[in-house]
Amino acid sequence: MAYPLEETFASSIPEGFARNGGHGNLTASWSPAQQAVDLVFGQGQNIWEITPAPLSGDFWFEMDVEALASASPPHFGFWLRTGGPNFEGQRLCVHNGYWLHSYWTGDIQESERTAEAQAAWAVVGARHTLRLDARHDAQLNVWQLQLSVDDEPAWRIYKRWHTALRPGVFGQSLTLRLHRLAGNAGSGLADAPPVRHHGLSAGLKRLCLSPANAAAPSHRHRGLRPLLGQRNHYYHGGHGIAGSVKRRIQGVVADEPLRRRVLLIDEATFTVVRETWSDAATGAYAFEHIDARPQYLVIAFDHEGRHRAVIADKLRAQTLPPTFP
């Protein structure tokens, strides 16, 4: 088993090219008219394991894929196996319009599911080329993973665990048509940001003491970041979120503004990013100079205890106007 891998299925599915993994509830058939492979996935966590793909630390893998039918919003993507027990590895897939990442154990336990990048393109009838670039830092045991759609990067993340992975095709309750599968050793990704530390012991300096976005490519660290001059460490940026807290009064056209405690939270980690109080006269609140990358939720609490908290989720920070310092 070795890279490079390049298969267009022009005449058939090569013998021994793939096997059913995971729950194995899938069938693969060659379409002579389309010169492609039709994969019918049933319920469960089903993997079409590509046997020529070796276990590797650095690799890229892509598929030209078309969603033919689905019982719900298409749920498919990549499954990276460790070569150990069935299911063990990492799953990167689209579901309900978003990219998801999660870890899986051999006894089918999912953990640390995160959802970030939108995937509105994932609809029945759409055909796209999905690419995964993977780079492993052996010293830190950290994976840098980048997902691209039609050559446009969609999501780059850093994940720990596992020293080598083998890519496969994941699907659940849908029919996919594969027009091409390809892959090779190496990737187009640069090295992960180096660890920065000050006065920490050798054992402590490799602990990641920051939220996920602190390890983004634009930062020069994975651990601690100098706080001097920063309005908000890790979540500091040139964007903002604003809104208002008001109470609707029956029979009155204008809503009544309220002064309430408001929290800004990172949806991926549930980290409280900022806290403020809405203005008593207008009900307005604002979180300024925050990072645009995370998806946020805002919670307004009634400290008087007369009403339940009000939540607004799936919020994105907007660019601040030039008048902000």
Q: What is the CATH number of the domain that holds 312?
A: 2.60.40.10
Q: Are residues 160 and 241 in the same domain?
A: no
Q: Are residues 178 and 37 in the same domain?
A: yes
Any domain includes 142: yes
Q: Are residues 59 and 162 in the same domain?
A: yes
Last residue in a domain, options 185, 216, 249: 185
Better pLDDT: 87 or 218: 87
Q: Are residues 61 and 164 in the same domain?
A: yes
Any domain includes 231: no
Better pLDDT: 320 or 7: 7
Query: What pLDDT, on a 0 to 100 scale, did the predictor assign at position 184?
Result: 93
Q: Region 178-197: what's the mean pLDDT?
A: 79
Q: Are residues 141 and 27 in the same domain?
A: yes
Query: What pLDDT, on a 0 to 100 scale, did the predictor assign at position 253?
Result: 64
Any domain includes 210: no
Query: What pLDDT, on a 0 to 100 scale, did the predictor assign at position 229?
Result: 36
Is the separation of the CB atoms in 215 and 208 below 8 Å?
yes
Range of the domain at 306: 236-319
Query: What pLDDT, on a 0 to 100 scale, did the predictor assign at position 187?
Result: 86
pTM as predicted: 0.62
pLDDT-derived band at 221, boundaries 50, 70, 90:
very low
Any domain includes 192: no
Q: Are residues 125 and 37 in the same domain?
A: yes
Write the CATH number for 136.
Answer: 2.60.120.200
Any domain includes 69: yes
pLDDT-derived band at 323, boundaries 50, 70, 90:
very low
Residue percentage of the chain with pLDDT more than 90: 55
Number of H helices, E strands in the chain: 0, 24
Q: Region 112-139: what's the mean pLDDT?
A: 90
pLDDT at 23 over 50: yes
Q: Are residues 70 and 151 in the same domain?
A: yes
Query: What pLDDT, on a 0 to 100 scale, did the predictor assign at position 217?
Result: 43
Any domain includes 225: no
φ/ψ of residue 228, rounded to 5: -60, 130
First vs last C-alpha separation in the chain: 58
Residue percentage of the chain with pLDDT more than 70: 84
Q: Are residues 162 and 283 in the same domain?
A: no
φ/ψ of residue 214, rounded to 5: -70, -15
Query: What pLDDT, on a 0 to 100 scale, did the predictor assign at position 270?
Result: 83
Q: Are residues 13 and 154 in the same domain?
A: yes
Three-state DSSP state, 105: coil
Domain count, the chain: 2
Q: Region 228-237: what's the mean pLDDT?
A: 56
Nearest CA to 92 among 74, 109, 71, 113?
113
pLDDT at 224 over 80: no
Query: What pLDDT, on a 0 to 100 scale, did the predictor assign at position 212?
Result: 53
Any domain includes 305: yes
**Cα 200 from chain centre:** 31
DSSP character for 210? Answer: S
Candidate ranges 5-9, 188-192, 222-226; pick with highest mean pLDDT: 5-9
Is the separation of the CB atoms in 199 and 223 below 8 Å?
no
pLDDT at 197 over 70: no
Q: Region 29-58: what's the mean pLDDT?
A: 93
Q: Are residues 158 and 249 in the same domain?
A: no
Q: Region 118-125: what's the mean pLDDT?
A: 92
Q: Are residues 252 and 314 in the same domain?
A: yes
Q: Are residues 151 and 282 in the same domain?
A: no
Any domain includes 191: no
